[in-house]
Amino acid sequence: MADTARHGREAFAFHAPESGTRHPLVAAAMVLPLAALLLFLFGGFEQVAAQASSVGAMLGR
């Protein structure tokens, strides 16, 4: 019984309770700042622009 109670406290202390799936906007809000920072640090603006231009050309725009 004591082992079960201790396991419950450890699980509560080290893991967030499972709440199902995360809303897509919350997930985007979590990842976009890091993605923007990496894009800035590694100078990826030109690559993103070129890729967007390629996709636009492929779609006929």
What does the pLDDT look like over 1-38, one tens digit per residue? 555 555 555 555 566 666 678 888 998 899 999 988 98
Q: What is the pTM of this model?
A: 0.40
Examine the pLDDT at 54 and tell me if it is beyond 60: yes
Are the beta carbons of 45 and 39 closer than 8 angstroms? yes
The pLDDT of 36-41, averaged and rounded, is 86
Examine the pLDDT at 46 and tell me if it is beyond 90: no
Amino acid sitting at position 26: V
Pick from 23, 47, 45: nearest CA to 36 = 45
Angular region, 20: left φ>0, alpha ψ -120 to 50, beta rest: left
**pLDDT classification of 48: cutoffs 50, 70, 90:** confident
